[in-house]
Amino acid sequence: MIVVHAKSKIKPECIEAFLEQAEIVIRATRAEAGCISYQLMADTVSNDSFMFVEEWTDREALDRHFKTPHFAAFGSTVKDMRLDRSVKVFQAEEIKI
């Protein structure tokens, strides 16, 4: 499994527009083959920070996601809304306890 944490700090005046665009990309991404889960989390301390938390079946599914029209449209639409961005990709295995 691949796990992605993609953090963004958004300009305060752009938060509403960012969330509108996020809703579009989330809906389309959840329908992709290989997408296990795709969620947007809001930081409860810093109201301008958000994190996409994603789970993918494998790296190939994530790479296909990066090439989709909705991912490209989201990236180009929100790039000027961001103050900062970081992405971490993990190869992971669920531990059943």
Task: Determine the structural domain holding residue 11 and report its residue range.
Answer: 2-91
Domain-located, residue 97: no
Q: How far is Cα 25 from Cα 71, in angstroms, rounded to an integer?
A: 6
Domain-located, residue 32: yes
Domain-located, residue 36: yes
Number of domains in the chain: 1
Domain-located, residue 20: yes
Q: What is the CATH number of the domain that holds 66?
A: 3.30.70.100
- Its pTM surpasses 0.85: yes
Per-residue pLDDT of the chain (97 residues; tens, 9 = 90+): 999 999 999 999 999 999 999 999 999 999 999 999 999 999 999 999 999 999 999 999 999 999 999 999 999 999 999 999 999 999 999 899 9
